[in-house]
């Protein structure tokens, strides 16, 4: 990840995002004592990474994933606890409506709880398809983003079956929408209208 930060400097990329605490696909619930040890290891390593990111004027945005993709950090509360334990202003939270749809009781409340710590946001359909072509209630999400004065990127993250490694990790076994262009065009139109 430190090499990624070096590349971010070259590319003028502001933030390293995603599950920066684990390899993708880590879902092997471990005993509580082992989990605590792993938590300490992640805190130690994120402190080093965030120090390097801060030195390079970059952010690291930690994304809680749903229980089917990781057993380590699934909720906004767990993410905020990691931010507190690491204690670096370079570390922010990265929330994703797809994962929150599974793990949070109230997406708007989770966004409000993240507040000033929200550094990146994925606006994804409940099936990882087009936002607005799903069952997510977007009004509380829009109100919460406005309430916390979030002004960062809002990104549609969808997947296809074309990239096999990612498709397998995200359990994408079928086409989510007729075309990827439809996700981008209709999704952007929906988000511009609803998130303003």
- What pLDDT does residue 28 have? 82
Lowest mean pLDDT among 100-109, 143-152, 153-162: 153-162
E strand or H helix at 92, and its extent? strand 91-96
Q: Which pLDDT band holds residue 170 (cuts at 50, 70, 90)?
A: confident
Which residue in 122, 36, 120, 22 sits closest to 85, CA to CA?
36
- Total-model pTM: 0.94
Q: In a 10 Å sphere around its CB, with 0-12 CB exposed, 13-18 middle and 19+ buried, how is residue 31 labelled? A: exposed
CA distance 182 to 179: 5
CA distance 104 to 135: 15
- Residue with the two structure tokens 């993708």: 24
Q: Which residue has the higher pLDDT, 28 or 195?
A: 195
- What pLDDT does residue 169 have? 77
What would the mean pLDDT of 2-10 be, rounded to a whole number?
98
Residues marked active site are found at 63, 157
Cα within 13 Å of Cα(136), Cβ side:
31
Q: Which pLDDT band holds residue 160 (cuts at 50, 70, 90)?
A: confident
Q: Kindly give the interhelix angle for 138-147 and 180-195, rounded to the nearest 10 degrees.
A: 60
Domain assignment of residue 135, given as a range: 2-7+15-195
CA distance 193 to 120: 20
What percent of the chain is helix, strand and coil (3-state, nearest 5)?
50, 10, 40
Q: What is the domain-level CATH number for residue 157?
A: 3.20.20.150
Sign of the alpha-carbon torsion through 117, 123, 124, 126: positive
Q: How many domains does the chain have?
A: 1
Cα within 13 Å of Cα(39), Cβ side:
17
The 10s digit of each residue's pLDDT in 48-97 is 999 999 999 999 999 999 998 899 999 999 999 999 999 999 999 999 99
CA distance 45 to 60: 12
Q: Which two tokens stand for residue 178?
A: 């007729």
């Amino acid at each position: 990840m430190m090499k990624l930060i070096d590349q971010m400097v070259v590319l003028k990329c502001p933030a390293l995002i995603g599950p920066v605490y684990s390899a993708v696909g880590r879902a092997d619930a471990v005993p509580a004592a082992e989990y605590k040890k792993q938590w300490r290891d992640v805190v130690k390593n994120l402190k080093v990474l965030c120090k390097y990111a801060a030195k390079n004027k970059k952010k690291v945005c930690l994304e809680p994933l749903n229980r089917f993709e990781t057993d380590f950090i699934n909720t906004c509360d767990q993410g905020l606890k990691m931010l507190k334990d690491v204690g670096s202003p370079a570390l922010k939270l990265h929330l994703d409506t797809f994962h929150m749809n599974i793990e949070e009781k109230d997406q708007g409340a989770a966004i409000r709880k993240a507040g000033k710590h929200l550094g990146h946001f994925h606006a994804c359909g409940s099936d990882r398809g087009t936002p607005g072509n799903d069952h997510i209630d977007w009004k509380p999400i829009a109100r919460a983003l406005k309430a916390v004065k979030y002004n960062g990127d809002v990104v549609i993250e969808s997947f296809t079956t074309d990239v096999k490694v990612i498709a397998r990790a995200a359990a994408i076994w079928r086409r989510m929408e007729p075309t990827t262009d439809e996700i981008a065009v209709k999704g952007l139109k929906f988000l511009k209208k609803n998130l303003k």
